[in-house]
Amino acid sequence: MDKPIGVFDSGIGGLTVVKELIRLLPCEDLVYFGDTARVPYGVKSRDTIIKFSLENTLFLLQQNVKMIVIACNTSSSLALPVIRRHFKIPIIGVILPGAKEAVYATKNGRVGVIGTRATINSGAYEQEIKRLDNRIKVYSQSCPMFVPIVEEGWVSDEIALRVAQKYLAPLKGKDIDTLILGCTHYPLLKPKIQAIMGKGVRLIDSAQQVAQEVRQVLIQEGLVSKNKKRPTREFFVSDEVAIFANVASRFLGEKLGKVKRAQHV
């Protein structure tokens, strides 16, 4: 089916998922929406997060998408069940794929999770991990400053390292061998996080697992694109276009064309 896949996130973090979708499904059209006017989501209330997530879903449905990927851990942890109740098209979140990969990866049964305050407080990762294997011990840490650091483009700055050291210190003593990057912004800080945690800790970036799940659902539902021409990729944001376009083109390694300002909020 030659309709696009819709992807939304609170900001630029969801581009980690877009990058994997492009790699795994190069023939699929994509529409991305980054809610940059209202980022970060992780410090907001459950009701506000659900409201924003429903509005983002409606915006993507107006773009005639065939599937929606919620490339935001905060929205996935709090709003996914509500969104699935309201809409009939396939909707995929990022929590379950990341939890599955962590359960598969851990050798000592000690898994760390970092995420926004709302994601960590929801307990979503711990619930999924325990459902898959209740012997695993889960240690969680909220890292609220990581999203603003990534959105500002400060991932290589000294401030990123200092903040990461402070947030990750409690996990260093827990003997974890696996760490879930429970926010799609966090893979952009991967070198800093890996350096602090050490080579013995496997970092789980759910973007790859999400792309695999999208592929499986497309096949199951008969929605795989028959597109033989160059696929279209549209990018929308709810605030300043230039900053997003600059960061996104550098991250994806390709020029985006025109990034449009969405008027849905």
pLDDT digits 0-9 by tens, 199-209: 999 999 989 89
Condensed to tens digits (0 to 9), the pLDDT of residues 51-64 reads: 999 999 999 999 99
pLDDT at position 227 is 72
Q: What's the CA gap between 264 and 118, in Å, rounded?
A: 24
Question: Residue 226 pLDDT > 90, yes or no?
Answer: no
The runs of H, that is alpha helices, within 106-189 are 117-122, 124-132, 146-151, 158-172
- Fold designation for 5-93+208-261: Rossmann fold (3.40.50)
Q: Cite the active site residues.
A: 72, 183
Q: Do the domains 95-206 and 5-93+208-261 match in fold?
A: yes
pTM of the model: 0.91
**Which H or E element spans position 138?**
strand 137-142
CA proximity to 208, closest of 94, 75, 89: 94
* CB contact at 8 A, 189 and 149: yes
Q: Does domain 95-206 have CATH number 3.40.50.1860?
A: yes
pLDDT at position 265 is 53
Q: Domain residues of the chain, as ranges? A: 5-93+208-261, 95-206
